[in-house]
Amino acid sequence: MKHLLSFDFEEWFHIIQGSELRHGEWSALTPRIEAMTDQLLEFLSVRKVKATFFVLGWVAEKYPHLIARVARENHEIGCHSHLHRPVWSMKPEEFAADLRQSLDVIGEACGRRPKIFRAPGFSIDARALWAFDILSAEGIELDSSVYPGRHNHGGLPAAPITPFLLKTSSGALIREFPISTFSMLGRRMTFSGGGFFRLLPLTLQRNRFSAFNKAGDPVITYFHPRDFDTELPRSDFGWLREWKNNVNVAGAFSKLSSLMEEFEMGTLTDVNGSVDWAARPTLGTSELTSTR
């Protein structure tokens, strides 16, 4: 089974929390995305592995040459919204406008309008299931927005932990790739990206990847450039955010490299092609709203 290697392609300050800055203030902060693009692409080139980059529209608008470069190196380009706002915090028309703006800007930068999407902070929850209808209407075919558990910014605890067909209220079908989780102390938690990837030991990572492999399911990862950045600027987001930003960053590339030596990774399109969709369940949005 091929596992998804993906990066939410955003700046280090594109976070969702109570102290987040208004987007008008972002340009005043020290940028790191260009330096980290160099490091990420070099890391992938050496290992001859292709990844999916879920690009923030704001980044594509400000650094179109970076998106063009990623695409030239034959990595897959997806959409991660325009301004990194939680989906549940917007009205449907606001989300639709943000989505269209990001798709247009990203498409202009790389020459192809994306057909894959990931919501900021996995923020499509029971309050925002209408978003899937909008995604489908805008041409999104593959999605990786569902967190199948409880999450600070969203979560759908009733969702499967492996790929499934999602039927929108209008009857459209989207192939959904939920973030990979495992059960600990009666709660689903992730292991395959962000701070959890950096914090949890490599032994556990190998164990979880092996378990998904054995079951014939792909692991869905979600890294960010900041997860590998040893030169992050200090932030004013509080001690907890500062700790999250820096914990085990120095060893992140090495840990990911070890997993890539043992498990085959690739783009979302690659993973989509390895899934037997005829054997996967189809769930309507109403079936994703129960609690566990």
In single-letter form, the type of residue at position 82 comes to H
The answer on pLDDT for 18 being more than 50 is no
Residue 212, both tokens? 């998904």
The answer on pLDDT for 290 being more than 90 is no
| Beta-bridge partner residues of 143 | 117, 176
Per-residue pLDDT of 186-213, as tens digits, reads 788 999 999 999 999 999 999 999 999 9
Are 191 and 147 within 8 A, CB to CB? no
* 64 burial via Cβ count (<10 Å: 0-12, 13-18, 19+): middle
Predicted local distance difference test score (pLDDT) of residue 112: 95
pLDDT: which is higher, 96 or 183 = 96
| Beta-bridge partner residues of 174 | 166
Predicted local distance difference test score (pLDDT) of residue 153: 76
pLDDT: which is higher, 290 or 233 = 233
Residue 132, both tokens? 């899937």
Q: Which of 3-7, 85-89, 114-118, 154-158 has the lowest mean pLDDT?
A: 154-158
How far is it, in rounded angstroms, from Cα 87 to Cα 131? 8
Per-residue pLDDT of 162-190, as tens digits, reads 999 999 999 999 999 999 999 887 788 99
Confidence of residue 150 (pLDDT cuts 50, 70, 90): confident
Predicted local distance difference test score (pLDDT) of residue 240: 66
Confidence of residue 228 (pLDDT cuts 50, 70, 90): very high
Predicted local distance difference test score (pLDDT) of residue 1: 85
Residue 74 backbone class (left: φ over 0; alpha: ψ -120 to 50; beta: rest): left
Confidence of residue 233 (pLDDT cuts 50, 70, 90): confident
Share of the chain above pLDDT 70, in %: 94
Average pLDDT of span 110-116 = 97
How far is it, in rounded angstroms, from Cα 261 to Cα 263? 6
The answer on pLDDT for 21 being more than 70 is no
Are 136 and 262 within 8 A, CB to CB? no
The answer on pLDDT for 291 being more than 90 is no
In the block, tokens 């037997």 appear at 276
Confidence of residue 139 (pLDDT cuts 50, 70, 90): very high
Q: 3-13+31-288: which CATH topology?
A: TIM Barrel (3.20.20)
Share of the chain above pLDDT 90, in %: 80
Average pLDDT of span 220-249 = 83
pLDDT: which is higher, 199 or 27 = 199
| Beta-bridge partner residues of 165 | 175, 282
Average pLDDT of span 48-73 = 98
Average pLDDT of span 108-128 = 96
How far is it, in rounded angstroms, from Cα 19 to Cα 44? 33
pLDDT: which is higher, 246 or 62 = 62
Predicted local distance difference test score (pLDDT) of residue 292: 44
121, 120, 70, 125: which is closest to 99 by C-alpha? 120
Are 81 and 102 within 8 A, CB to CB? yes
Domain boundaries, the chain: 3-13+31-288
Average pLDDT of span 53-66 = 98
Q: Which of 14-23, 96-105, 273-282 has the lowest mean pLDDT?
A: 14-23
40, 32, 37, 39: which is closest to 14 by C-alpha? 32
